[in-house]
């Protein structure tokens, strides 16, 4: 195809403009690092401290036109070409690990990442499900690599003791969050390369997603500015905005605002004692929510993380300390928005007591059940809570007790409940609550079952299902259903009573009541009827009756 002269001139002018722009972008090697002279400095000491061994201090003297290398006026600025500066390896340090994290490139095969480990350039890190690792670089910048992620440390170097650090990272899968220290010189660099674009900063707080099957790669800026670029274009992303890079064959998309921070509901926010409960208003445009708990003084140290579809959360366990709850909305494109934050404290309290009774899911035929637990060393008491729902948003009963047992202070209506206990320390502070255990309260004792059996002549025996080992029983027998003049009204230690067979036959009525060792008397069982056959009345072939009363 032959270009016309106007088209040629237009194309030539565009190429010339691009060339001029490229010429005006100084490379790090072409720039100087500035040093302010301090009292006692001289050129050969400064050269030994900052220059490569191959660069003599005399070149520094010539570059700065120093007339007397023995006397440098304090406050004078010396210029060090970046290419002359000493370059040293600057391994990353593992600040925190949560869950299974593996690293390769530092020895044969892979090995688990441990806190305090030094990771050199070329290391490749992989996090498992519900896992994360926090890295600290030589300039005190931090990176949090989240769950199911893969990251390569491409370049980790420092320019001697200048404070300038060159950090280049390749995020191959998953998500990362970075808090980057402001640049300390022209050679300072912090770059994260994802499959579709590179994010470059000189001091900021931002998040990068490598993208995947369900979401495009994105860069989300919280503080500062981030330049997002690939070979086809670049975007400057301001705080509160994001750039999506759907493909390496297209320039990053125009920036757009992050979703606003969710509004946490004060009435449904309970951060201590554990479990933590939180709820928030749904955010328009949100497809889900990201919830994190971090250390208040080290927000890159992740203690808890969860992706949710509903605007509510329960966290059963967290380490003690000053913590911060972060909640952000996630758009349909997978871009995470601004954080709602709430600081809280988890006290280093006593552990939750082990529970003994009632058993998990047990049905109790008493309106005021008794609860039992193990005593935690150092505990001065126990807090008992009973609620209709497992989150205990509105407990129906809350009381404190001493020792290892307590009876519900008021009667519970029939229905389903949950109960839990926490220990109290010497200051009366509650420790951690244990698991919410289901419980059913019934006002209808189960119907007993009658069985016949033979016994000694002239007597009959009543037996019923045993209750708890500490319980006693009260049994009543009468010829009338109202038990106004019982033939027998006796307390026994075992679920059995024997008596002489009445001379007169007919119907007898029986009921049994449990008596706890604290004096609490449960309801009587339903009245059961016993019919004495005529042959017993005349003393021929006396039999025994077995009555099973399920208490």
Locate 489 and state its tokens: 């009204």
Nearest to 273 by CA among 327, 315, 325: 315
Beta carbons of 373 and 354 less than 8 angstroms apart: yes
Beta carbons of 119 and 66 less than 8 angstroms apart: no
Report the alpha-carbon angle 144-145-148, nearest 5: 155
256-to-65, 93, 238, 294 alpha-carbon distances in Å = 50, 34, 10, 27
Beta carbons of 190 and 180 less than 8 angstroms apart: yes
In this prediction, residue 262 carries a pLDDT of 96
Segment 341-355, tens digit of pLDDT: 999 988 777 888 988
CA 261 – CA 339 distance, rounded (Å): 5
Please, what is the average pLDDT of the chain? 85
Beta carbons of 436 and 420 less than 8 angstroms apart: yes
DSSP 240: T
Model confidence at 434, pLDDT cuts 50, 70, 90, reads confident
CA 84 – CA 391 distance, rounded (Å): 64
Q: Are strands 528-532 and 355-357 parallel, antiparallel or unpaired?
A: unpaired
CA 214 – CA 306 distance, rounded (Å): 18
Tell me if residue 173 falls in helix, strand or coil. strand
Q: How many CA atoms lie within 13 A of 64 on its CB side?
A: 25
Segment 507-549, tens digit of pLDDT: 888 888 888 877 788 778 788 887 765 544 444 444 444 444 4
In this prediction, residue 445 carries a pLDDT of 64
Locate 354 and state its tokens: 């082990």
Residue 23 has pLDDT above 80, yes or no: no
Model confidence at 469, pLDDT cuts 50, 70, 90, reads confident
Q: Which residues pair with 155 in a beta bridge?
A: 168
131-to-44, 297, 302, 438, 534 alpha-carbon distances in Å = 50, 20, 9, 31, 78
Give the domains, in start order, of the chain with CATH numbers.
28-84 (3.10.350.10), 88-257 (2.60.120.1440), 266-346 (2.60.40.10), 355-441 (2.60.40.10), 449-548 (2.60.40.10)
Nearest to 503 by CA among 472, 463, 474, 460: 460
Q: Which residues pair with 430 in a beta bridge?
A: 424
Beta carbons of 396 and 444 less than 8 angstroms apart: no
In this prediction, residue 525 carries a pLDDT of 79
**What is 308-336 written as a DSSP string?**
ESSSEEEE----SEEEEEEEEEEETTS-E
Q: Are strands 32-36 and 77-81 parallel, antiparallel or unpaired?
A: antiparallel
- Of 69-78, 148-157, 347-356, 466-475, give the range with the top mean pLDDT: 148-157
pTM score, two decimals?
A: 0.70
Beta carbons of 224 and 204 less than 8 angstroms apart: yes
Beta carbons of 138 and 90 less than 8 angstroms apart: yes
Alpha helices in 330-388 (DSSP H): none
* CA-CA-CA-CA dihedral for 181, 85, 94, 346, to nearest 10: -30
């Amino acid at each position: 195809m032959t270009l016309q002269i106007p088209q040629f001139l237009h194309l030539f002018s565009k190429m010339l403009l691009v060339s001029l722009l490229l010429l005006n972008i100084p490379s790090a090697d072409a720039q100087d690092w500035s040093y302010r002279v301090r009292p006692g400095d001289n050129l050969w000491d400064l050269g030994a401290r900052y220059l490569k061994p191959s660069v003599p201090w005399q070149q520094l003297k010539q570059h700065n036109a120093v007339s007397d290398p023995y006397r440098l006026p304090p406050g004078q600025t010396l210029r060090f070409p970046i290419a002359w500066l000493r370059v040293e390896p600057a391994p990353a340090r593992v600040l925190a690990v949560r869950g299974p994290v593996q690293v390769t490139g530092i020895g044969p095969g892979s090995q688990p990442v441990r806190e305090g480990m030094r990771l050199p350039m070329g290391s490749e890190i992989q996090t498992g499900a519900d896992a994360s690792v926090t890295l600290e670089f030589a300039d005190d910048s931090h990176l949090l690599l989240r769950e199911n992620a893969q990251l390569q440390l491409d370049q980790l170097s420092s320019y001697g003791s200048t404070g300038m650090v060159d950090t280049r990272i390749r995020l191959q899968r998953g998500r990362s969050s970075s808090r980057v220290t402001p640049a300390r010189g022209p050679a300072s660099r912090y770059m994260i390369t994802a499959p579709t674009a590179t994010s470059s900063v000189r001091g900021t707080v931002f998040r990068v997603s490598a993208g995947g099957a369900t979401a495009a790669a994105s860069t989300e800026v919280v503080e500062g500015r981030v330049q997002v670029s690939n070979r086809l274009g670049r975007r400057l992303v301001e705080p509160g905005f994001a750039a999506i890079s759907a493909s390496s064959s297209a320039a990053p998309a125009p920036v757009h605002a992050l979703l606003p921070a969710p509004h946490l509901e004060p009435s449904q926010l309970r951060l201590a004692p554990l479990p933590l409960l939180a709820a928030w208003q749904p955010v328009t445009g949100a497809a889900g929510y990201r919830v994190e708990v971090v250390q208040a003084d080290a927000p890159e140290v992740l203690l808890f993380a969860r992706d949710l579809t509903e605007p509510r959360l329960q966290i059963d366990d967290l380490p003690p300390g000053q913590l911060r709850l972060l909640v952000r909305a996630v758009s349909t494109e997978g871009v995470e928005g601004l954080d709602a934050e709430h600081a809280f404290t988890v006290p280093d309290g006593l552990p939750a007591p082990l529970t003994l009774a009632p058993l998990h899911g047990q049905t109790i035929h008493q309106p005021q059940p008794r609860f039992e637990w193990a005593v935690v060393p150092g505990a001065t008491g126990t807090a008992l809570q009973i609620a209709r729902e497992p989150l205990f948003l509105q407990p129906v009963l809350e009381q404190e007790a001493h020792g290892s047992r307590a009876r519900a202070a008021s009667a519970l209506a029939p229905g389903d409940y949950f109960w839990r206990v926490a220990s109290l320390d010497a200051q009366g502070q509650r420790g951690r609550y244990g698991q919410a255990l289901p419980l059913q309260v019934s006002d209808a004792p189960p119907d007993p079952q009658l069985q016949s059996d033979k016994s000694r002549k002239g007597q009959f025996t009543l037996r019923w299902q045993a209750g708890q080992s500490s319980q006693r029983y009260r049994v009543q027998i009468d010829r009338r259903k109202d038990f106004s003049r019982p033939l027998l009204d006796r307390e026994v230690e075992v679920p059995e009573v024997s008596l002489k067979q009445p001379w007169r036959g007919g119907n007898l009525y029986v009921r049994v009541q449990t008596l706890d060792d604290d004096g609490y008397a449960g309801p009587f069982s339903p009245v059961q009827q016993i019919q004495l056959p005529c042959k017993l009345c005349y003393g021929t072939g006396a039999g025994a009756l077995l009555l099973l009363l399920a208490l």
